[in-house]
Structure 1
Amino acid sequence: MAEGNSVRDRIIQLAREIEEFSKTNMPPEAFFDEFLKRVIGAIGAKAGAVWMLNQGNQLQMFREIGVQDSGFFQQPDAAAKNQKLLVDVLSNGQACTHSKGEGKDLPSDELLILAGLQRNKELIGVVEIFQRADTPVQARPGFLQFVEQMCGYACRYLDRMGRGGSAMTAELADKFENMVLQVHRSMDVTEVAATASNDARLLLDADRCSVAVRYGKKTRIEAISGQDSVNHRANLVRTMASLTKFVIKMRETILYSGKLGNLPKDIEEPLADYIQESGSRMVMIVPLFDREVVDPDSEPQFFESEEKDSGNSKPKDKPIGALIVEQVAESTPKHGLVERTELVAPHVGFAMANARRHQKLFLMPVWKRVGRFASWFRGKNLAKSIAVLMLLIAFAVCMIFIDYDYRVEGEGRLMPIVSQDVFTPWDGKVIEIYVDTKQKVKKGTPLLRVYNEDLNSQLVAAQSELSEKQQYREALYAEYNKAFETGDRQETVRLEGEIVDVEVEIRGAMAQEVLLRRRIDDLIVKAPIDGTVATFQLEQLLLNRPVRRGEVMMEIKNEAGPWRLELEVEEARMGHIIRAQELEARTDLEVEFVSATAAERKYQGELANIAPRSLKSEEGLTVYEVIADTDAKQIENLRIGAEVRAKINCGKQKLGYVLFGDVIEFAQTHLWFGDRKAEKNQLTQTSLPRGSTKVE
């Protein structure tokens, strides 16, 4: 039902447009071109033509649409047969239809609809419409009536032209036709207003043209000729909108040409304000209407007779805006300006009404995009789309049903398990280095010597004190011998006591000297284990450098022993490793890695330990340290600290999760907090034993 109403409304609109054209002064060629377009479009005909009497009183084709292209005149005797039908209509003045099967010799198989054209009650031409042959019989009277009605409007146009109406020049007719085409090209209100204002100014030869649009109770200036945009805060625009609002309410055209004259008093004040602001000497404001006809008591008709009383037919000439035309230099309208403005205004109104109805449709931008998208799936694109769709379905099936190894990636280094840091035994300065980087050493091999000035000073002091004590002891022995020879018993006893005390002091001084020498000997740092010096650029790093007790000076690593991978795995990946260990009931998951020193080969290993707590990586990420054992014999170009990229096999997962697991985990982390929090809690509470990695 809605579709039928839409068709009837369209036919009524086309009939209204023909009626409006009949009131204009457009050239006959342009009028009958527009006339045929709308008649053919309204009844869905195939072609049409207008035949007019020439100076020799012979019917000659004046304008046509689709007749030449249909090959009508290429048929034998078609022109003669058709001429006979036209003469019959021209002689009796009766509109008629002809179809195959009526017994007449017809020039075509189509249904022919013919109606006469009169000027001053004299037949001067015929309108011929070529309708489809399969048109239902019951619809033909309606089509005939419609064509006859439209010919009535054409006759009025011919009467007006015969009375000497001011016709357009050919140049103006071309400009008018171009403007009509341009203004109906867009369905955007702003674009229609801009096109109408600029093209109308050229057609009307005015100084300025503007288009106002009414939105509810508010009137808005949508476009001003010569301007890309409208500043709605400008005084000129505000006073123009205020004046136009009153004119739209009046629903009548006003023309100001220097004097108020008979203009309504309600618009005198806003008109005076606008004239003062704009400086225009002539202002013409023509309301624009959305012309519709709705009969509330009956079904919509294809047309309405002019003689029919409008009691049941309710015109909905809804004002939707206005066309403002201005002259600045002179107050008298230029020749033909008023007539051309009245000709242009209905077309601007039609275009504006269509654009507004179009924009009012719910979600129209969305439907446009949907329509453009759907139109792409036509022709060859449909086969392409089906092929792509099948590929996508196959891809989705593979993602859902195919299992594949899910491997967690980690980066780290390849290191020997047996290693030992070399510490500073005492505060001091490194004065000698006995080894080089990568030099192999045995346990006890001197590595470097540290000089401590305090220890050396203490040793010198201890040696001096020991020497003094020893000299004092010699002196006491000499006195003791002298006293013994003289038989001084008392002096002998005293000296024996002093000698005993000095002996004790000498033994203490000797022990202090030995201790200091041992400490100085310990300043020669020796290798704690067999291995290789792993610290780089020892001289640049340590020579003549002050060091403190307990500070790490170098590393010794045993390359001949077992090796391991020291990996860093992001916290978000640890859940997969823990779940894999629980499902497989073992901790030694398979590890595949690539060494930077032999990137062309892949090596195998086994997960050994996981650190019980997280730490911050150099990049600032939260990571867990993971240890994996490997057979060093299989690795080519084995180097201490070589960078490795490892993948820990965490069991089977769906292929889709293997490829797009990062996206899924991102969504889980940011949208489904419960699962991710539970996983983090589980990871925090899980602590696997981690063996010692250093040789004490």
Structure 2
Amino acid sequence: MTQRPIDPESLQQTKQEIRNLARDIAELSKQELSPPEYFEKFLQGVVTALAAVGGAVWTLDGGRLSLLYQINLRTTELLEDGEDQMRHGRLIQRVVQTGEPLVVPPYSGPGDAGDVGNPTRFLLILLPLKSENEVEGVVEIFQRPGASPDVQRGYLRFMTSVCDLANGWIKSRKLRQISDKQTLWQRLEQFAQVVHESLDRKETAFVIANETQRFVGCDRVTVIVRKRGKFFVEAISGQDQIDTRSNMVTLLQALVRRVLAAGDPLWHTGDTVDLPPQIEESLEDYVDQAHTKTIAIVPLRRPDRPIVAQPEDEEQEAVETGEILGALVVEQIEDNTDTAALKMRTTLAQGHAARAIANADDYSSLFLMPLWRLLGKSRWLFQAKTLPKTVAAVVAVTVAVAAAVLVPVDFNLKGKGVLQPVARHDVFAGVEGVVTEVHHEHGDQVDKGDPLVTLRNTDLMVQMKNTEGQRQTALERKLSLERALLDSSRISADERSRLASDLLQVREQIESLKAQYTLLQEKERLLTVRSPIAGQLITWDPKKLLMNRPVAPGQVLLTVVDPTSEWELLVYMPEDNVGYVMDAVHKRGDSALPVDYVLATNPGHSLTGHVKQLHQRAEAHEEDGHSVKIAVTIDRDDLDDPRPGATATAKLHCGKRAFAFVWLHDVVEFLQTRLFF
């Protein structure tokens, strides 16, 4: 077979194109690109230069191969899971392990299917990507088969030269990363030194805002701190004064409070699909006002471990579980930010900012801190002329403190309460319906069983009519069957047997419909709500409250009390004081805990009672918050004209405690729950 002669001019043109492509790759290797951008252009140039079918770039990620970029990989059928894919993977691993290039013919390899090999119909050219003799990845080219050995060696020489350029790019990129990270480390160290210089909370917040803006390279940084359980703007970068009533500050505070309630950082670059509706609404309101393109809200938590900053690991994020002290809000007005770099630097600044805020908060929250500062500046108190006065003052303070700690006084706890008869009942709706009539007004006397409210249930009426109609139809059917059975001379035995079976079924149907109708009648009787006891209706304006109103089963409609029965005082004691009451009850044993109370209608007259019962659980009260209900037995004769629901102020006598404890137990509880817990 004769070979076609090669056109020298065409050959020279092809060589020139290859040299131009190699020159383009050399220029490409001098640019600062990300790996995906670089290897996309690199592989496209190589595939074009070799007129190959396609190729792929594989990188090592934690010891595992991952595909960075590919051209026509699907034509090799290696994307499908199977033995071929495993053999191909082992082939790439061999290049990684040996660090040597390979040219593998199509469908070649050992006979054993489990060994390495080329399972494709293409000539595979594989070369390692190296940096300091360490393999970073593999470049693979899918070339058409049939090339002569000389041509294959030419492929390998070309690939070796361009891979040397890629290796140089990898080495340069690593050097740039090392330089950038060294610079970042130095800037982080400077940032940490500056933000930890002061222990004043406001000054620290302003330093954090301005230094974080410079360190992160953003347009604006806002520091949010917690005050009295809520979060407020403390500092904004570049601003000495803050208008706390401005729309931007108000909207930002609302947004931060909702984000911190969730406890997770917020990184927003425009997409709000995955955000909760509450956060999405506040975020859109703020962005519309501030015209922010990128915003990050990261919680500042009280650190529970030393900060270990690792700028070389850009993907690492510190996971904090401590108390939230505030937040760092990082904003970018222009949409030209490297989000990954912004996130990494913000995370690094977050740790130092949180510790600086925590230190300033701890320092500012120390008990009597202004006094300690004053004492630190008051060395003159211990000079010779003023020392006797200082000693006398110290002795007086010591005596006062000892008296406060050692002298016992009455320990009384106050709580709001209401008067109620012991015999009182809430009246509930037994069935669903609409109120059509209210039979009594507020203050009316009612007897047990008197109708109070009448309901209408259209569905129940329809059910009753349907059931009765079905029952009448069944009765007529029963009579028809019985007449047919009586005239037995005109029907066959089989027909008589069938009629008897039908008659039995109809009788069972009649009994079932009768039972259903009885139950519906019972529900119909429940449409008239009756008084459970004889007494007085105390619900205010019941007609206005209930007329034409739909009600559900179990819903409270009215309240009826018996004012002639014994009365009691229900005291709503805040749950943080209930422990003291329980201790006092246990110490007294069988003796009931005494209670003094005054009615709002007669505050000048003090009455007495004793604790009868403490409820076992706290309930949310609309006026007193979470509180425990305490039933107090009172003397009915002490009340001139008692009215159900009359308010009173009760004072429970819980024994004797030290004078300081009686006056400062609320402060002690606050310290125990907010600082020491």
TM superposition score category, shorter chain reference: 0.3 to 0.5
Q: Which has the larger radius of gyration?
A: 1
TM-score normalised to structure 1 length? 0.36
